[in-house]
Structure 1
Amino acid sequence: IDTVIGLPPKLFYSTGIPVCILVLKKCRQPDDVLFINASERFEKGKRQNILLPGHIDKIIDTYQHRKEEERYSRRVSMEEIEENGFNLNISRYVSTALPEPQIDLDEVFETFAASHGERSEGW
């Protein structure tokens, strides 16, 4: 297996589930598998979703150059895949989750204390 490409749901008339493309190569050089999560890159349609030319070009460019991009693609070693029980689920290797915003607790406490003090004075 050379590459695993995850596509969005509702691309085809016959199914509403997301589709996955497995690219197999007989004589491949790198000892890793490229995972591309293109499941969030599509144009929403009434009955089915559409991959625009820009979306397709990005998939092809990422595949041809084996690019890594946060929340989109990642090259994964065969050792890591083996450690995960040969599970090829894209979300295991390419997370699309947005990072949680950092909260400054000192600032929150100061704001809380200031507002609590203002309320106490008004009563």
Structure 2
Amino acid sequence: MKLAEHLVVPTEDVMSALTAELALAREACARLDGAMVSVLEGASSEQRGTLLGELHVVDRLNQQLEALDTFLRRVDCGESLLEIGQALPAITLAEVAERMGAALSMAAVDAPPPPMGDCEYF
């Protein structure tokens, strides 16, 4: 997908695309958790300690994703616009870049890019 160099979208749409990606990551994490529990059940006693430790890491990751999702859903964006033309190509996982690019290209507005530098939301 070829994106414009300047792609200006409402902040709310960026947050929405991010929460959708977090939902997919949480689903994958839940699948991994289930698979690890299955492996743990069949593991030898020597392997169980290591696997249990890794299962705690997966659980922590799932909680972290949930915390970020909760935070993003409660952020009030107002009517801000974000320039994402350079941010999308920086995503190194192609499937994520394609989903975000497709969702955010449809949300693009005809506006000049915001000034470069620190974001000012007030």
TM-score band (shorter)? under 0.3
Structure with bigger RCO (C-alpha 8 Å, 6+ apart):
2
Structure in which a larger fraction of residues adopt helix = 2
**TM-score, normalising length from structure 2?**
0.21
Structure in which a larger fraction of residues adopt strand = 1
Higher Rg: 1
